[in-house]
Chain A
Amino acid sequence: MDAQREISMASPAVGEAGATGQWRNKRPVMDPALCLAAKAGRVTCQICWVHCPDGCIAQGASPVIDLTYCKGCGICAQECPADAIEMVAEALHGACEIDESGEAR
């Protein structure tokens, strides 16, 4: 019905505010060697998943963070009981990768 297109009625879609991953100053980096779910090889813990305000973390062993939309709030890193998530400066990604020694490549 034409008139239906005359009212403000929005439809759901991801990314209403764009790729909110661009908001980040720091990005979460998960260490599978420390993550309880990864170590157990099954969906356990999932504390990062439940506390993400944006639902950017998919359940899993280990959970997977959607960096397109992750705003870098750091709650997952703060709440992880195993300290498996580190918030790393975004400036160190994209511009250049860092190697194991922490040196810029």
Chain B
Amino acid sequence: MATKILDLPDISYVLPGNRSCAGCGIGIALRQITAALEGKMVMTVPASCLTVLGGMFPISSVSIPWVNVAFPSTAAAASGIAAGLRATGRAGEMTVLAMAGDGGTGDIGIQALSGAAERNEDFIYLCYDNEAYMNTGTQRSGLTPAGARTTTTWAGKRENPKDLPLIMEAHGIPYVASTSAAYPADVYDKVVKARGIHGLRYIHMNTPCPSGWGFDPKDTVRLGKLAVDCGLVVLYEVEGGDFHLTGRSASLSKAGRPLVPVADYLATQSRFRGMSDEAIASVQSWVDERWARYLARDAGACVT
């Protein structure tokens, strides 16, 4: 049963007055991630927006154990912490959570993540996907959507983003989930579920970024939800290989409603300004093909 907002614990391990941008999607989610783990956790955080949110020495903006690590190394650092906790008899004291951006996960960090997944290391890996290297000023990543302008794709990115959750599924890990910072209760539930599973649990979280995507900060949640309504972001879980849609994506599927045209979403952000009709149509057919696949999987079809 999906947790309702009023049933979310009223406790915060994320302290106000931190350095994240106004309207940052990460903050909304981090409050629920930490609440879901009741603060009994240790995080590994690579160079990223999250590092900045965490604060500069000597003041921390988070009241949970937090270990800053080198950019490519998030999953390896979490592996090391998990091994160290086991070796020193403290494994039961806290959950190890690796939390990195799309670059730190899918590009520079993918080797360490793949290795950790193949070894089925015992920690939760959560990727906050703001769809570009935001901390260094919005350069493209392998997760940047097609058509998006970034400081290294001035004419709009040509390629579609990598499907990281699918890549993680291919490692055979016990839990893979896709969520959105626009649905904090969904984030909470998925972290709670992950907490109860051993091995490598991967959660992919779409994270709207007003600074990098080019929209008014007040729309972070609204646009995050619109992305789900368009099928650009799909909420789902894969537990032990079994796929099912969740939350709003499940409702959309159940209602059999058509998705909102992607053009409506693309029009809301300056990063997509100037996209040609062909480029938009291309994104639409990419979304449609994937949505059909998700619907089929939800109905029991196999991926391969």
Contacts and interface: CB of A to CB of B under 8 A. Distances in A.
Interface of A: 8-20, 23-24, 43-47, 49-56, 59, 66, 68-69, 71-75, 77-79, 87
A10 B5 contact: no
B252 to A, nearest CB: 20
7 contacts: A14-B16, A16-B15, A45-B5, A47-B5, A55-B14, A74-B217, A78-B221
Interface in B1-28: 5-6, 8, 10, 12, 14-28
Q: Which of A17, A20, A54 has the most B CB atoms < 10 Å from its CB?
A: A54
A79 B19 contact: no
Nearest to A17: B19
A13 B16 contact: no
B62 interface: yes
Contacts of A16: 15, 17-19, 55-56, 59-61
For the complex, would chain A's binding face be called helix, strand, loop or mixed by DSSP majority?
A: loop
Interface of B: 5-6, 8, 10, 12, 14-28, 31-32, 55-63, 184-185, 210, 216-222
Q: Which of B57, B218, B219 has the most A CB atoms < 10 Å from its CB?
A: B218
B220 A11 contact: no
Contacts of B18: 16-17, 20, 54
Nearest to A87: B218
A42 B32 CA distance: 22
B135 to A, nearest CB: 15
A37 B55 CA distance: 33
A23 B10 CA distance: 26
Nearest to A76: B218
* Among all A-B residue pairs, the 3 with the closest Cβ atoms: A53-B27, A74-B218, A15-B17
B60 A10 contact: yes
A52 to B, nearest CB: 7
B181 to A, nearest CB: 9
A11 B61 CA distance: 8
B15 A50 contact: no
B220 A75 contact: yes
Contact of A74 (B32, B57, B184, B216): B216
A16 B52 CA distance: 10
Nearest to B30: A53
Given A12-B60, A55-B31, A77-B218, 11 more contacts: A12-B59, A12-B62, A17-B19, A46-B5, A53-B27, A53-B220, A55-B27, A68-B16, A73-B210, A75-B217, A78-B221
A13 B28 CA distance: 19
A8 B59 CA distance: 10
Contacts of A53: 20, 22-28, 220
A71 B16 CA distance: 10
Contact of A78 (B32, B55, B57, B218): B218
